Amino acid sequence: MIEASAVFSSSLDLNEVLDHVMTEGQRALDAEASSVFQIDEATKELYFVLALGEKGEAAKKIRVPWGEGVVGWVAKYGKSVLVPDVRKDPRFYQKVDEKSKFITRSILAVPLIVKGKVIGVAEVLNKRSGTFSERDLEMFQGLARQAAIAIENATLYKEQAELALGAVTSLATAIDAKDPYTIGHSKRVTEYSRLIGYELQLGEGLRRNLEWSAILHDVGKIGIPDSILQKPGDLTPEEWDAIRKHPLKGADIMAPIRLLRDVIPGMRHHHERYDGTGYPDGLADGDIPRLARIICVADSFDAMMSDRPYRAAMKEPDALRRLRELSGTQFDGQVVEAFVRVYKRERIRGG
Amino acid sequence: MIEASAVFSSSLDLNEVLDHVMTEGQRALDAEASSVFQIDEATKELYFVLALGEKGEAAKKIRVPWGEGVVGWVAKYGKSVLVPDVRKDPRFYQKVDEKSKFITRSILAVPLIVKGKVIGVAEVLNKRSGTFSERDLEMFQGLARQAAIAIENATLYKEQAELALGAVTSLATAIDAKDPYTIGHSKRVTEYSRLIGYELQLGEGLRRNLEWSAILHDVGKIGIPDSILQKPGDLTPEEWDAIRKHPLKGADIMAPIRLLRDVIPGMRHHHERYDGTGYPDGLADGDIPRLARIICVADSFDAMMSDRPYRAAMKEPDALRRLRELSGTQFDGQVVEAFVRVYKRERIRGG
């Protein structure tokens, strides 16, 4: 099960800001290397967010336990530390040097503090000329303040993005739950769509739009009366018409949201068929927006795999075979092949 | 009509970052003043985001037309400019000096560029010793890059926050619209709640939670069958029970969203009564969360002012009088007084 927030990565330029700030610090303080650590709240370990200098890449995989080493000490006590000679400081944590093959001589480390809380540590290593001074410390604290703000901003952005997707997911889930046959449907369609997006190597922006489009694809059902949505027997032609309006209704509901403008085509067209006989607009093959072609396969597969009032759920191999049979008529064959490939690989069990 | 996004201001520390970056630039370049401008896309004017130095506050109110003056030129052509003596440069825009009483002698101005697009201009004014050099220009361009990222990040954050609230507003509006008697209800309740929040001088964080709580207060109705929600005649006791579950259902729907934890109490308790006879928990006076007490007044006022199957809408003065009559029994008197005061002042017409 892939978490909803996994691909919804922050697009705030955290690395660029940190890189700029620390490069400046390293240059101004005439240091050989510099790093920024963040604290993993779950394990209470420090991990590298940035490591500049010769062995930076090697260092990045290492984690420092909370309270251990100079940076662990700084994280624990929230105080800056100036270590002119690491051989004389018992707090020095050898393991990073051992693993990275870097030789640390001197350290200047300052806590990154946001709203009174230590969120990480910034350090510069090995002053080339002389030793780190109190003035160096003051200067570096100013830069650390910038780094802390950059990290905090990226965190706030990520939280906000998670809030947006989380809140609509909750509402879409509640709308699905009105019909006992579609409980959890939109979430599963979103998972399938996400897998297809990865398999087709869509860019991050497209994958993000796909995720939104998939979670919202059926919200137009809010506008369909329960009496039709939950009708156990055959539907009249008028009732079918009402059902067929849900992609348009969904698109209308989200139309006012500027940031969702590229999300709406995937919602509106997820019931088009590759041969042009679908709805609402009877679009065919390449004219159907790509995200809609993906959601169509994901949506149909989940429907096949679910019980309906008039039939039982299909077995997995039968549903996969059916997708392939309908390649080129109902579905885009390339999307079906991507889905079958990734589905088998990931062995998703649904739900 | 107050726009939904008006109080949902960015909490990214844009000003702090810009202040830090420009103070550093002004110091390093030995300049008397510095400013950052952003471009108003609608009017194509440049407005001050930051103005440091003696006349900074006076300058801030001024807007510079696109293409005019040195900064207008930089915005238009996306190129840096070094003006050693403004008297000799025909591009110089006198009006800012005239209005701010600052005397500009020399200017170094660079465009703020994000993803190839000019989003603003940063400038330093009046080098104290000598004239701005090509090296100064290079150094300042590095700082301008940081300022550009900070502005871009704040913009992205604001967009994301608007997306979150906008998407749930659209869905809440669609849920309201299932019952012809509640079309637009949640939006109006959110407006009334926002006004009360201002009048009671709640802090920004509380006002934000109030806004979310108000727009979501009735989403639990998604779990009530149409047959009950739209029933024209009297409800049975069982049907009333189902209706009374909507605050709990709404709270349950949003419970998984970590960032909404302080929003949920306002949803759950908006049908509590001040005398303890409300639902779902029979809380009384101070035990009812403050946001819920506010939403309760806003919700009831909108209900009074709307037609119902069994009665016509009340007139405005009658509804306001009724709120006051129920102060202390159904409502928190302080909230009612705040609402009546601000409502009369703002002369809201509803809808």
Mean pLDDT across the stretch A316-342?
97
Min Cα–Cα distance to chain B from A22, Å? 13
B151 & B200 share domain: no
Chain B positions with Cβ closer than 8 Å to A: 11-13, 16-17, 20-21, 24, 142, 145-146, 149, 152-153, 156-157, 159-164, 166-168, 170-171, 173-175, 177-178, 219, 222-223, 225-227, 253-254, 256-260
The closest of A43, A45, A44, A24 to A34, measured between CA atoms, is: A24
- Identify the top-confidence range among A89-98, A335-344, B59-68, B88-97: A335-344
Residue A163 has pLDDT above 60, yes or no: yes
A45 & A103 share domain: yes
| Mean residue pLDDT across chain A | 90
pLDDT at A254: 96
Residue that finishes a domain, picked among A157, A185, A220: A157
Distance of CA B217 to the CA centre of its chain: 19
Residue B7 has pLDDT above 60, yes or no: no
A134 & A238 share domain: no
**Residues facing A48 on adjacent strands:** A37
The pLDDT confidence band at residue B13, using thresholds 50, 70 and 90, is low
Instruction: Tell me phi and psi for residue B56, to 5 degrees.
Output: -55, -50
Top-confidence residue, A192 or A60: A192
Instruction: Tell me phi and psi for residue A20, to 5 degrees.
Output: -60, -50
State the best of B162, B226, B260, B267 to mutate against chain A, taking most chain A CBs within 10 Å.
Answer: B226
pLDDT at B9: 31
- For residues A66, A68, A70, A74, the Cα torsion angle rounded to the nearest 10 degrees is 30
pLDDT at A92: 87
The pLDDT confidence band at residue A109, using thresholds 50, 70 and 90, is very high
pLDDT at B349: 52
Q: How many helices and strands (H and E) does chain B possess?
A: 14, 6
Mean pLDDT across the stretch B191-202?
97
Residue A3 lies in a domain: no
CA–CA separation, A291 and A303 (whole Å): 18
**How many beta-carbon contacts under 8 Å exist across A and B?**
123
A259 & A120 share domain: no
Nearest-CA residue of chain B relative to A161?
A: B160
pLDDT at B155: 83
Q: Show residues of chain B in contact with A142, CB under 8 Å.
A: 20, 24
Residue A313 lies in a domain: yes
pLDDT at A10: 35
Residue B4 has pLDDT above 80, yes or no: no
> In A188-213, which positions are buried (b, 16+ CB within 10 angstroms) versus exposed (e)?
bbbbbbbbbbbbbebeeebbbbbbbb
* Residue B339's CATH number: 1.10.3210.10
Question: Is B157–A162 a contact, with Cβ atoms under 8 angstroms apart?
Answer: no
A113 & A192 share domain: no
Q: Give the model confidence (pLDDT) of B253-280 as tens digits.
A: 999 998 999 999 999 999 999 999 999 9
Question: Parallel, antiparallel, or unpaired: how do β-strands B117-127 and A107-114 relate?
Answer: unpaired
Which are the contacts of B201, defined by CB distance < 8 A and separation ≥ 6? none
CA–CA separation, B218 and B213 (whole Å): 9
B124 & B238 share domain: no
Residue B190 has pLDDT above 60, yes or no: yes
- Identify the residue whose tokens are 């509106």: A268
Question: Is A219–B16 a contact, with Cβ atoms under 8 angstroms apart?
Answer: no
DSSP characters over B35-56: EEEEEETTTTEEEEEEEESTTH
- Decide if A225 contacts A242 (C-beta within 8 A): yes
With 0-12 CB in 10 A as exposed, 13-18 as middle and 19+ as buried, what is A300? buried
Residues shown for chain B: 351
Residue B22 has pLDDT above 70, yes or no: yes
* Residue B38's CATH number: 3.30.450.40
- Is the backbone peptide bond immediately before A265 cis, with ω within 30 degrees of 0? no
Q: Give the model confidence (pLDDT) of B229-257 as tens digits.
A: 888 888 999 999 999 999 999 999 999 99
Top-confidence residue, A14 or A350: A14
DSSP A126: E
Residue B252 lies in a domain: yes
- Decide if B163 contacts B1 (C-beta within 8 A): no
DSSP A224: S
- Decide if B283 contacts B229 (C-beta within 8 A): no
Distance of CA A140 to the CA centre of its chain: 32
Q: Show residues of chain B in contact with A157, CB under 8 Å.
A: 12, 153, 156-157, 160
Of A147-151, A314-318, B303-307, give the lowest mean pLDDT range: A147-151
B214 & B328 share domain: yes
> In A15-28, which positions are buried (b, 16+ CB within 10 angstroms) versus exposed (e)?
eebbebbbebbbee
Q: Give the model confidence (pLDDT) of A210-244 as tens digits.
A: 999 999 999 999 999 999 988 888 899 999 999 99
Residue that finishes a domain, picked among B104, B124, B157: B157
With 0-12 CB in 10 A as exposed, 13-18 as middle and 19+ as buried, what is A115? exposed
- Decide if B214 contacts B264 (C-beta within 8 A): no
- CA dist A337 → A273, A303, A321, B238 (Å): 16, 18, 11, 51
- What is the 3 state secondary structure string of A71-104? HHHHHHHCCCEEECCHHHCCCCCCHHHHHHCCCC
Contacts 24+ apart (CB under 8 A), A21-25: A21/A143, A21/A146, A21/A147, A21/A150, A21/B146, A22/A50, A22/A52, A22/A122, A22/A143, A22/A147, A23/A52, A24/A143, A24/B142, A25/A122, A25/A124, A25/A139, A25/A140, A25/A143
pLDDT at B176: 95
Question: Is A16–B256 a contact, with Cβ atoms under 8 angstroms apart?
Answer: no
- For residues B58, B60, B66, B69, the Cα torsion angle rounded to the nearest 10 degrees is 40
- For residues A146, A149, A150, A152, the Cα torsion angle rounded to the nearest 10 degrees is 160
Top-confidence residue, B47 or A149: B47
CA–CA separation, A13 and B152 (whole Å): 9
pLDDT at B11: 47
Residue B162 lies in a domain: no
Positive or negative: CA dihedral B80, B83, B86, B90: negative
Instruction: Tell me phi and psi for residue B126, to 5 degrees.
Output: 55, 80
- Decide if A59 contacts A102 (C-beta within 8 A): yes
Q: Show residues of chain B in contact with A11, CB under 8 Å.
A: 156
Question: Is B20–A146 a contact, with Cβ atoms under 8 angstroms apart?
Answer: yes
CA–CA separation, B246 and B224 (whole Å): 7
Q: List the B63-65 sheet strands across, edge first.
A: B63-65, B45-52, B31-40, B117-127, B107-114, B81-83
Nearest-CA residue of chain B relative to A257?
A: B166
Min Cα–Cα distance to chain A from B254, Å? 6
State the best of B119, B152, B153 to mutate against chain A, taking most chain A CBs within 10 Å.
Answer: B153
B22 & B149 share domain: yes
Residue B166 lies in a domain: no
CA–CA separation, A253 and A204 (whole Å): 25
**Residues facing B122 on adjacent strands:** B36, B110
Residue A281 lies in a domain: yes
Residue B309 has pLDDT above 90, yes or no: no
State the best of B119, B170, B204 to mutate against chain A, taking most chain A CBs within 10 Å.
Answer: B170
Residue A130 lies in a domain: yes
A288 & A248 share domain: yes
pLDDT at A4: 24
Q: Give the model confidence (pLDDT) of A242-300 as tens digits.
A: 999 999 999 999 999 989 999 999 999 999 999 999 999 999 999 999 999 999 999 99
Residue B254 lies in a domain: yes
Mean pLDDT across the stretch B298-326?
95
pLDDT at B135: 92
CB atoms within 10 A of CB B137: 16
Residue A321 has pLDDT above 60, yes or no: yes
B238 & B293 share domain: yes
The pLDDT confidence band at residue A98, using thresholds 50, 70 and 90, is confident
- Decide if B92 contacts B69 (C-beta within 8 A): yes
Degrees to nearest 5, angle at CA B159 with B156 and B164: 125
Which are the contacts of A127, defined by CB distance < 8 A and separation ≥ 6? A29, A30, A31, A106, A108, A136
B194 & B124 share domain: no
| ipTM for the whole predicted complex goes beyond 0.90 | no
CA–CA separation, B49 and A61 (whole Å): 40
B246 & B298 share domain: yes
The SS3 call for residue A236 is coil
Of A78-92, A264-278, B188-202, give the lowest mean pLDDT range: A78-92
Structure tokens at B310: 């069994």
Mean pLDDT across the stretch A106-131?
93
Q: Domain tally for chain B?
A: 2
Which are the contacts of A160, defined by CB distance < 8 A and separation ≥ 6? B157, B160, B161, B164, B259
Question: Is A257–B222 a contact, with Cβ atoms under 8 angstroms apart?
Answer: no
Of B72-86, B89-103, B122-136, B192-206, give the lowest mean pLDDT range: B89-103
Residue A6 has pLDDT above 90, yes or no: no
Q: Which of A152, A160, A171 sits opposite B253 (nearest CB)?
A: A171
CA–CA separation, B167 and A254 (whole Å): 7
pLDDT at A349: 52
Share of residues in chain B with pLDDT > 90 (%): 66
Residue B6 has pLDDT above 50, yes or no: no
With 0-12 CB in 10 A as exposed, 13-18 as middle and 19+ as buried, what is A239? middle
Q: Show residues of chain A in contact with B13, CB under 8 Å.
A: 149, 152-153
- Domain residue limits at A59: 14-157
Residue A3 has pLDDT above 70, yes or no: no
pLDDT at B2: 27
Residue B304 has pLDDT above 90, yes or no: yes
Q: Give the model confidence (pLDDT) of A132-148 as tens digits.
A: 999 999 989 988 888 88
